[in-house]
Chains A and B, each alone.
Chain A
Amino acid sequence: MLTTKKSKKKPESVSIAETIIKAYREYVLTQGKKPASVFSFTKDNGMKEEDFYSYFGSFEALERSLWKGYIVQVKEKLTTDSTYISFSVREKILAFYFTLAEVLKGDRSFVIHQLKEWKNPAKLPSFLKGFKSAFEEWIVQLINEGKQTGEIAMRPFLDKQYDSVFWLHLVFILQFWNKDDSANFEKTDMAIEKSVNLAFDLIGKGVLDNAFDFGKFLYQNK
């Protein structure tokens, strides 16, 4: 499920990286805090310290890789699904969030624990950096696809911001899910469905464009 940094390592090394991540996750969840040092962590788990460093530069790098793994996993699930390709962009985005919710469900305790560290909403915590860039890479593709199919309106200046708007949207969903206590996280499903619909109302051709067009007309003909 996890990828290491874009390295050319042999297949068995992936599983070593996985073992390290698994041990780390367990440590954090049972101890409620990060290990004191890479030294103590590897020692407790019967590894060599340098083994750790050949995969991750630090605990932070490990967390980044772990979080990025969620997005990679979702992408894999989607692209191997035969129906996904026939979806509209709106449906692809919905499918992405639903799948992400499912993937995160399997790791909920750890995810919630990590999100607690995120106290200042304006500052992106380091563990989310890889997660964010992987998401943005994916969403930019979809936005371009949406512009081609006409689902997303082209707007000068504004449409450059769409990827960051979608990132904020993902953060919203993450926070919503974080606090969701409904059975089977049904409310998160509703939040996803409704907010994506709204988002597509806003970025699709519609009121906004007509208002702008009218404003321009008034300005030019005053």
Chain B
Amino acid sequence: MKEQKSIPITKVQRATKFITTGAKIGGNYLKHYSKKLVNPSTTTDQLHEDNATDIYQSLSELKGSALKIAQMLSMDKNLLPTAYQQQFAMAQYSAPPLSFPLVIRTFEKSFGKKPNELFESFSHTARNAASMGQVHQATLKGKKLAVKIQYPGVGDSIKSDLAMVKPIALRMFKLNPAEYDEYIEEVQIRMLEEADYTLELERSMNLSVRCKGIPNLVFPQYYPEFSSAKILTMDWLEGKPLGEFLKTETLTQEESTRIGQAMWDFYHFQIHQLKELHADPHPGNFIITTDKKLGIIDFGCVKVIPADFYPVYFQLLGKDILQNKPKMLKAFYDLRFIYEDDSEKDKKFFIEIFTELIELLGRPFRTPQFDFADNAYFQAIFKFGERLTNMKELRESKKARGAKHAIYINRTYFGLYNLLNELKATVNTSSWVPC
């Protein structure tokens, strides 16, 4: 991994970074319009691609929360043109590493000892980047360990970063301010939790024990004695991160189905049995182990599903929801897709949109098996997402549509679908039903 030579230092500099990005994006639009004047058939693809590259470059030079936002937005595929996705999906892999002396310093602050006093060996450079930290490899008693070290000050910068991202996110992702604030409030809570490795340790140990029964999953063992608020130590899983694996190797149909099913079961067991879930289905958070099982390594982001929210949300996945109009309408009101005081025109408009959304996103649940390798299905989702982004009515609506608890669950589903698509897995989708 190449170390980034410099990082924007102060809040002012980071803010300037965003402003220059804003200016560049303006430039991209200009470029687009002038191209369009010459050649009317120019599509918006190139424009999106240009914008995505600029935003991505700007965000990837930051650490911590801004980087996380890049990832978050990349997860919400339904809201983003495909061009952004490819750029943002890389975000996790390009955080610049911390210097080794700072790693040592973090150890001394946590344990009063240097890494080489705690472990038999400790890698000088980071082996992997995580969005809020980096992973070093250590050995102890012949066992390989993964030691995650957090960037200092991540917690402090979350709030100011989120505030700075706001203007650009509003413009770029065409979100309306009401929606954005609710979105960000929920994101901020989750991110502050993610910056707390003590909490992550607790959750990792808890969830990995409870999910142990699911076949073809591998969980690392965690080591509280080598963990602190800034350091998290677990077993090193042999294999490759999922994203990297798929770029360099291929799975047989049998293997991809096995891994895909394990992933599906992992999520649905958590959603329906535990009512709390690993809400960060990013390709960097999974390992394809050498024996082709699914290793799960990051419980930083966990969403607890509130008891009263569960039935409201999952009624949407009922098999008869599309046929049962009154039931669907009730669900729409419950989830604040539509409001009682909306105008008739608005109501009609939003009901249509959300019906289409439910039909599209709930499709895998309405058949016993679903082939996630079906690219036509994903194209339909992207197209729909693009249409949504460009809908004036949606953008200009002053109300937040959708419940805030749904943000991370939606995000999890989009991430899950996307990973299953990349795995080209056919999954038995009827193994878990809402209860």
Contacts and interface: CB of A to CB of B under 8 A. Distances in A.
Interface of A: 81-83, 86-87, 90-91, 94-95, 98, 102, 182, 184, 186-187, 189-190, 192-198, 200-201, 204
Contact of A186 (B9, B98, B116, B153): B153
A193 B99 contact: yes
A193 B153 CA distance: 12
Nearest to A189: B152
Interface string B76-109: 0000000000000000000000111110110011
Nearest to A194: B9
A198 B9 contact: yes
B6 A94 contact: no
B6 A91 contact: no
A11 to B, nearest CB: 29
B100 A193 contact: no
B100 A91 contact: yes
A194 B64 CA distance: 14
A87 B116 contact: no
B178 interface: no
Interface residues of B, number: 19
A27 B5 CA distance: 46
B6 A95 contact: no
Contacts of A102: 105, 108
B185 interface: no
A102 B112 CA distance: 11
A201 B5 contact: yes
Contacts of A82: 116
A159 to B, nearest CB: 19
B102 A94 contact: yes
B144 interface: no
Contacts, number: 56
Contact of B6 (A83, A187, A189, A198): A198
B101 A186 contact: no
A172 B7 CA distance: 18
B156 interface: yes
B132 to A, nearest CB: 14
A42 to B, nearest CB: 38
Given A90-B99, A95-B104, A195-B9, 10 more contacts: A83-B116, A86-B124, A87-B101, A98-B102, A182-B153, A184-B109, A189-B102, A189-B153, A190-B153, A193-B99
B268 interface: no
Given A87-B101, A94-B99, A193-B102, A182 B5 contact: no
A195 B325 CA distance: 62
Contacts of A197: 5-7, 99
Given A102-B108, A197-B6, A198-B6, A91 B99 contact: yes
Contacts of B124: 86
A195 B8 CA distance: 10
Nearest to A84: B101
A81 B5 CA distance: 26
B401 interface: no
Complex A-B, nearest 8 residue pairs according to Cβ-Cβ distance, in ascending order: A94-B101, A95-B101, A98-B105, A201-B6, A190-B153, A186-B152, A194-B9, A189-B152
A192 to B, nearest CB: 8
B114 interface: yes
Contacts of A200: 5
A76 to B, nearest CB: 16
Given A87-B100, A87-B101, A98-B102, A190 B152 contact: yes
9 contacts: A87-B100, A184-B109, A189-B102, A189-B105, A190-B153, A196-B99, A197-B6, A197-B7, A204-B5
B156 A193 contact: no
Contacts of A194: 7, 9
A28 B271 CA distance: 63
B62 to A, nearest CB: 12
Interface in B140-187: 152-153, 156
Interface string B1-16: 0000111010000000
A56 to B, nearest CB: 33
A196 B153 CA distance: 17
Interface string B105-140: 100110000101000000010000000000000000
Contacts of A81: 114
Contacts of A86: 124
A184 B156 CA distance: 13
Nearest to B8: A194
Contacts of A90: 99
A22 B360 CA distance: 76
Contacts of B109: 184
A83 B105 contact: no
Contacts of A190: 152-153
